Each structure stands twice: as C-alpha cells, then as structure tokens.
Amino acid sequence: MYQLHSGNDTLKIERPLIMGVINCTPDSFYAGSRTSSIGQAKAMINQMIEEGVDILDIGGRSTRPGSEEISEKEEIHRISEIISFVTKEFPSLWMSIDTTKSSVAKYAIENGCRIVNDISAGNMDPWMIKTVAQLKVPFVCMHMQGTPETMQINPQYNFISDEIVKFFQSKISELESEGIGELIIDPGFGFGKTVEHNYQLMKDLDRLASLNKPLLVGISRKSMIYKLLNSTPETSLNGTNGLNMYALMKGANILRVHDVKPAKEIIQIFQQLNK
C-alpha cells in the first residue's frame, strides 16, 4: 500500500483511486471537460464528489496537442476561484494542480492543493523541482516527448517501453536527490506518442508498476481511443472504460478521468475480481 503525505494530511492508496479532471480552460480537447463559468465548474465538482472522486486535478492551461502557452497570471486567474471554492466547501478533499509553472504550483499549494502534477516532469520550468522540494508535497512526474506545441509532430522511439522505463529510473533518482520524497509516475499517454506507441506502452504497463511508485494512468477519451475506433472524444467513454480496466490489471493505482461514476464501477468490479 502506498501513502501520500502533504502537510499534516495523509492519503492512503489502499485501492485504486480516481482523479477527476477539472479544466478551467476554454480549449481542452474534450469539450465536456471545459468549464466556462464558476457555476459550471462548481456543478461539475459537486457531481464528481457525489460519484466518489478521490482527487480533483485542477488545470488552468490546456495541454492538448498544438496548444499554446499562456501567462502565469492568466493561469492563476483561471484556477483561483475553483481552488478557493473546494478548499472552503470540501476542506478534506485532495486537489492536485496541473501545471508546468513553479509559480502556479506554489500559489495552488499555498491555497489548498496538495499535489503538483507536471506533464513535463519539471523540464519546462527550471525552478519547478526546487519549488516542489521546498513545498514538501507529492509530485506527479509525467513522460512527454517534446512540448504540447510540438509533441505530436512525428514522435519517434526505438523501443518505447525501454526508453520510458529508463526515463523514469533516471527521473526518480534525480528527483529524490533533489529532496522530492513522494513521486507518482505517469507514462503520459498521448504526449509525444502515436496510437501504436500508446498501445505498446499500455501492454507493457506492468514494467512501470515494478518501479515501486504509485502509477497514474490518464487515457480518458484520448485520441488513442477515438482514432483507433474512428469516433470522437464525445463517443469514447466505452473505449475509455475498457482501457481503464486493462490498466488496473497491469498495476495502475490512480485513474485520471473525466467520468467518475464509470471509473468507480470499474474499480468495484476490479476489486471483486481480486478478492
């Protein structure tokens, strides 16, 4: 069993957890995840809580393929009211901040978030790693080839699973030496990877589980599903559910999803199968 510690709070991973996506953005790839108003965001959060979410992942900048950077001021503006709402209304609920900027991470943690979730693993901001170490919070370390602007322009690997295992072995050593004690690893499905890369990585997911760090998988409604099935993000829930069950069987500890209730049911079935 893994445990996450942030301040005086502890989150036990005694069963697979659900991380619900809250996009405070106008341009995320899945329209159903966008929140154009505080009222809409609050309604989404309330629904996720009713359905059993364990962590809310709050993001103020879309990282879909081809997305453009925004200023730290704009990013903080987008997330501030949501973080304040959750902290006030649901103080025991864990939040992560989805950002590549150390200043945004620091603001979010100081105002109620408990985890930093960085798609660049600290590579896009030279101050991120030192900031997380100083904040003494868990860090989601994700693999990405390139940047959100460039990552889907002809991504290439020799042997993707070997390369990503080596990436995490190196990153774990680096981050622990910098004083980050609790790491969560995320293979980064869809971030600098073709459809074929994503499925090979999924088949080899147990190799990442063997690194003895909590393993987060985020494949909810992504192109690895809808491109394969010739569908759309809006019609990709069934494929998401199937892949999430497979990920659990391969050792995933946290599912990052747009749809909490289906993920909750999948976890219940998975637990029943493993009694």
Where in the sequence numbering do the catalytic residues fall? Answer: 222, 256
The Cα–Cα gap between 46 and 137 comes to 25
Q: Which stretch of DSSP H or E encloses residue 216?
A: strand 216-217
Q: Residue 48: beta bridge partners?
A: none
Residue 186 token pair: 């995320």
The dihedral region occupied by 186, where left means phi > 0, alpha psi between -120 and 50, and beta the remainder, is beta
The 8-class DSSP code of residue 244 comes to H
Residue 3 token pair: 């445990």
Burial label for 103, CB within 10 Å (0-12, 13-18, 19+), is middle
